[in-house]
């Protein structure tokens, strides 16, 4: 059950509601939104009696019964899509947002050339890992804080907002200091200590689907972040592990419309990790636009053949610019569809 308090409800009024909820044997979990406090209620008990009693309290705006185990992120909780603002760019609104950049930050020249190239081609955010989750302990692990500083330089040079990965709860404050959005990689989707630490980081989160995680598990991980106080979450389909070996992962393209039915959170597609092959990236980008994603995150490197990580799936600047150009008519159709959906909903 979700209880939405009236605007400007006081702490005392919130506590009255909490007492009433506890009286019926339930527990509360509150999140403070920009305008109002929303209370998630969990437990087992007489739902109807509890709802009726709470609805009668004067400080309560409305009460909704939610059946999904992920409450705050479910469509039942909120019908309209959440708009996540990342340094002036809105994801989940009426703009299709492309994030691009190298897998890892490698040097000042590499990240500046990447940033300038992707900005010119129309990307709104710069990606690049300073903390890298690598399968082998012998592989490049990232430039860490030095890499974050280079990302900041690239932001100053181009105006692009920064999205970069944080791997440990210990580093959340450090990464949040430099980044506009924190990325949680596939391997950390169920690092619950990390998810909890994101609740108060003051930055939007890009949550990538785990390699072997279901859509429901992805939503439960998003619920962790929201329940701990941060409603600004963007989900990312990046391919899952199957028996197929032609592609690095299997892109679960249907997860995008499925998520759009189940949650109000924005959903983007990562065609680079989904395929592992640069030749397949443009086709998947078109698919992402057509199927109703809110944006893309694409790996782009000024010299992919020299990349320290994920070169085979990275586009060079020319290929990325061409792809962005070819995507334009699809994005136009996407915009029209968004407008029609907005008109139908109003
Ligand atoms: C990445 O974005 O470079 C990355 C490591 O992605 P994922 O966590 O999806 O594997
Ligand atoms: Mn990568």
pLDDT band at 32 (very low <50, low <70, confident <90, very high): confident
Q: Which atom of ligand 1 is nearest to the CA of 297?
A: 2
The distance in angstroms from the start CA to the end CA of the chain is 25
pLDDT tens-digit series, residues 89-130: 999 999 999 999 999 999 999 999 999 999 999 999 999 999
Cβ of 129 below 6 Å from ligand 1:
yes
For residue 178, the model assigns a pLDDT of 98
Q: How far is the CA of 318 from the centre of ligand 1 (A)?
A: 23
Cβ of 133 below 6 Å from ligand 1:
yes
If one residue of 103, 190, 269, 274 were mutated to test the ligand 1 pocket, choosing by the most ligand atoms within 8 A of its CB, it would be 103
Token representation of residue 116? 């300038």
**Contact criterion met (CB below 8 Å) for 246 and 212:** no
**Contact criterion met (CB below 8 Å) for 155 and 88:** no
22: left (phi over 0), alpha (psi -120 to 50) or beta: alpha
* Pairwise CA distance, residues 174 & 148, whole Å: 9
Q: Which atom of ligand 1 is nearest to the CA of 187?
A: 8
Query: Which of 141-149's residues contact partners 24+ apart within 8 Å by CB, and which partners?
Result: 142/104, 142/105, 143/104, 143/105, 143/106, 145/174, 147/104, 147/105, 148/105, 148/174, 148/175, 148/177, 148/178, 148/179, 149/178
Q: Which atom of ligand 1 is nearest to the CA of 127?
A: 2
Q: Pick the residue whose CA is nearest to atom 1 on ligand 1.
A: 103
Q: Kindly state the average pLDDT of the residues 239-263.
A: 98
Q: Kindly state the average pLDDT of the residues 179-205.
A: 97
For residue 202, the model assigns a pLDDT of 95
* Pairwise CA distance, residues 341 & 260, whole Å: 13
Burial zone of 279 (CB within 10 Å; 0-12 exposed, 13-18 middle, 19+ buried): exposed
**Contact criterion met (CB below 8 Å) for 64 and 1:** yes
Cβ of 202 below 6 Å from ligand 1:
no
Token representation of residue 337? 């569809």
29 pLDDT higher than 90? no
* Pairwise CA distance, residues 267 & 257, whole Å: 9
Q: Give Cα separations from 289 to 244, 268, 296, 341 (angstroms).
A: 24, 9, 8, 15
Q: Which atom of ligand 1 is nearest to the CA of 103?
A: 3
Q: How far is the CA of 127 from the centre of ligand 1 (A)?
A: 11
SS (H, E, C) the chain: CEEEECCCCCHHHHHHHHHHHHHCCCEEEEEECCCCEEEEEECCCCHHHHHHHHHCCCCEEEEECCCCCCCCCECCCCCCCCCEEECCEEECCCCCEEEEECCECCCHHHHHHHHHHHHHHCCCEEECECCCCCCCCCCCCCCCHHHHHHHHHHHHHHCCEEEEECCCHHHHHHHHHHCCEEEECHHHCCCHHHHHHHHHCCCCEEEECCCCCCHHHHHHHHHHHHHCCCCCEEEEECCECCCCCCCCCECCCCHHHHHHHHECCCEEECHHHHHCCHHHHHHHHHHHHHCCCCEEEEEECCCHHHCCCCHHHCECHHHHHHHHHHHHHHHHHHHHHHHHHHHHHC
Q: How far is the CA of 193 from the centre of ligand 2 (A)?
A: 23
pLDDT tens-digit series, residues 272-288: 999 999 999 999 999 99
Whole-model pTM? 0.94
Residue 283, number of CB atoms within 10 A of its CB = 12
Cβ of 206 below 6 Å from ligand 1:
no
Cβ of 103 below 6 Å from ligand 1:
yes
Q: Kindly state the average pLDDT of the residues 230-234.
A: 97
Q: Kindly state the average pLDDT of the residues 24-31.
A: 86
Tell me which ligand sits closest to the C-alpha of residue 185. Answer: 1
Pick from 318, 319, 163: nearest CA to 234? 163
Mean pLDDT of all residues belonging to the chain = 95
């Amino acid at each position: 059950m979700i209880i939405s308090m009236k605007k400007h409800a006081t702490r005392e009024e919130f506590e009255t509601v909490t007492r009433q909820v506890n009286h019926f044997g339930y527990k509360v979990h509150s999140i403070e939104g920009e305008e109002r406090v929303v209370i998630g209620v969990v437990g087992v008990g007489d739902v109807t009696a509890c709802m009726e009693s709470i609805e009668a309290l004067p400080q309560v705006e409305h009460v909704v019964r939610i059946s999904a185990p992920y409450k705050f992120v479910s469509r039942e909780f909120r019908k309209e899509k959440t708009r996540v603002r990342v340094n002036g760019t809105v994801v989940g609104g009426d703009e299709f947002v492309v994030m691009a950049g190298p897998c890892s930050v490698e040097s000042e020249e590499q990240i500046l050339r990447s940033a300038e190239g992707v900005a010119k081609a129309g990307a709104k955010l710069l990606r690049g890992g300073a903390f890298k989750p690598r399968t082998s302990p012998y592989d490049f692990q990232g430039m860490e804080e030095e890499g974050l500083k280079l990302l900041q330089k690239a932001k100053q040079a181009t105006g692009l907002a920064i999205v970069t990965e944080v791997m440990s709860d210990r580093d959340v404050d450090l990464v949040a200091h430099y980044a506009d959005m924190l990325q949680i990689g596939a391997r950390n989707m169920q690092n619950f200590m990390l998810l909890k630490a994101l609740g108060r980081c003051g930055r939007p989160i890009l949550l990538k689907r785990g390699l072997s995680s279901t859509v429901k598990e992805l939503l439960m991980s998003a619920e962790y972040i929201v329940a701990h106080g941060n409603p600004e979450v963007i989900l990312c389909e990046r391919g899952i592990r199957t028996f197929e070996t032609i592609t690095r992962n299997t892109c679960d393209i249907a997860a995008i419309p499925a998520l759009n039915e189940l949650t109000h959170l924005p959903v983007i597609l990562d065609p680079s990790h989904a395929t592992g092959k640069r030749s397949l990236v443009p086709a998947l980008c078109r698919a992402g636009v057509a199927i109703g994603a809110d944006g893309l995150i694409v790996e782009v490197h000024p010299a992919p053949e020299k990349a320290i990580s994920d070169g085979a799936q990275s586009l060079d600047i020319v290929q990325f610019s061409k792809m962005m150009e070819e995507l334009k008519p699809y994005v136009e159709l996407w915009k029209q569809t968004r407008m029609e959906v907005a008109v139908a909903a109003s």
